[in-house]
Amino acid sequence: MDYEKLRKIIHLFGFIALVYYLIPVPDIQRDIMALVVVLIVLIFEFLRIVFDFNIPLFRNYEKDSLSGFGWCAIGLILSFILFPKWVNIPVVVAWAWIDPFIGYYRKKRWGIPAALLLYTTIFYLFAYLMIEHVSAAFFIMGPLVAIVGVWSEMLGKKEEFRWLNDDLTMVLFPAAAYFVLAYLAGIL
């Protein structure tokens, strides 16, 4: 079985984490429930590392460290707690689709420009649905958030930054960029 392709397919459905916003409970209870899920993931990760059992979907460098799935859980919960829904929805959908796209097409000359265009398109589509009014500043934000998103994916893949996993950076960095840009543009 080609586990790398399976990882990418699973990643494409990462936006399912946005079900977080559909749980019909007060925000604090929703946050606690999400923290419990992350805690379960981290306990599993701890046991996997301590007892040295192999999971075929995990990469070799993840054998003795937190896996991409663990980093994903941490990045998502931090983003859900730190940023509002209108920030997280476009960023999480873009993360779910752009990370596997870049992983597959990274070595192609057109891969990064295509990823920027795709990220910007996803951002505009989902951000437009989440905000009340669209201004000229909104149209400047798309490419800027896309640049931060694609850059943070590449940063997380660099060997010297392996401790800074792209499943964490691709959620938190663009979310923070979008939030700050929206604040500066007066969209908040």
Report which of 84, 54, 58 is spatially closest to residue 71, judged by C-alpha positions: 58
Mean pLDDT of 7-26: 89
- Of the candidates 62, 79, 105, 100, the one whose C-alpha atom is nearest the C-alpha of residue 18 is 79
Instruction: List, for residues 135-163, the tens digit of each pLDDT value.
Output: 777 888 899 999 999 998 888 677 677 67
Domain extent listing, the chain: 3-185
Kindly tell me if the per-residue pLDDT of 134 is higher than 80. no
Residue 164 pLDDT level (bands cut at 50, 70, 90): confident
Single pTM value for the model: 0.88
